[in-house]
Chains A and B, each alone.
Chain A
């Protein structure tokens, strides 16, 4: 059988899944408000999407660095849920598709390779800082 009941309905799964749903609801609302703010303030919703995507990467990197991802509930709530709901590929892809149509290549470069490089750099920097801190505490 592909899906056995014991594989799915265990406590860790329930905590992970429940946390993901609650976290995503909160993250989605925060994303909507940030994008709305960017749209109202600068008439650039894409900058709001960029901001929430990078912020979500910070959240995930912090959770991983602090070791909180070991807890199913926290992993579900913060990583799968909040950061997953806060960040988005669909809005980014639609924005970039529009930029491609309008041949705004600098904006495409900002939102695809540059944003990805920044996100990876943020992720690695936080991991590095966290590992340095833990070495200082427990040499």
Chain B
């Protein structure tokens, strides 16, 4: 008999959808509403850099926390494992996949790089290189700060989101 209480598929999708919508709303405010309200549209590109870097930092931090929790669940007792597994799934779906995923955007980054090239090549090239270099480093810093290194960082968490 399984000791895991996993989220049902619809529960996971609902968490991802709500988290994604909240993340996108945050991104909208930072990259569209604030530059428009300040009447400085050029701020949208640096704002997107800030969004992607902060999202990567938080995602790295959360990944480290969740990996630590999973490790604790594996070595903990059965009761600990049952509740912890569900909490990890919940947090992963809402915060990591939904909120951080919806908050950051690769398509906006690419569109900004292509569209911005004609208007301001130096600024666009700087922001593009900064994103490509510092986003992974921000995630790495987040993992360090959380104190947890992923066991399988290049792949998925093995049993999160899986029906058992």
Contacts and interface: CB of A to CB of B under 8 A. Distances in A.
Do the two chains belong together in a single complex?
yes
Contact of A83 (B52, B105, B143, B153): B105
Interface string A19-42: 011111111110110011001000
Contacts of A94: 56, 59-60, 63, 139, 143, 150, 153
Interface residues of B, number: 62
Interface of A: 2-4, 7-8, 13, 16-17, 20-29, 31-32, 35-36, 39, 43-46, 53, 56-57, 59-61, 64, 79-81, 83-102, 104, 107-108, 112-113, 116, 119-120, 123-124, 127
Given A21-B25, A24-B20, A91-B59, A84 B155 contact: no
Nearest to A86: B107
Which among B25, B38, B93 has the highest number of chain A CB atoms within 10 Å? B25
Nearest to A69: B111
Given A46-B155, A98-B153, A119-B110, A89 B104 contact: yes
Nearest to A76: B28
B102 A24 contact: yes
Contacts of B104: 88-90, 93
A85 B153 contact: no
B105 A88 contact: yes
Interface of B: 12-13, 16-21, 23-25, 27-28, 32-34, 36-38, 52, 55-56, 58-60, 63, 93, 96-98, 100-111, 113-114, 128, 131-132, 135-140, 143, 149-150, 152-156, 161
Contacts of B109: 89
A17 B52 CA distance: 19
Contact of B155 (A39, A56, A86, A92): A39
Contact of B21 (A25, A56, A119): A25
A29 B59 CA distance: 18
B113 A120 contact: yes
B107 A59 contact: yes
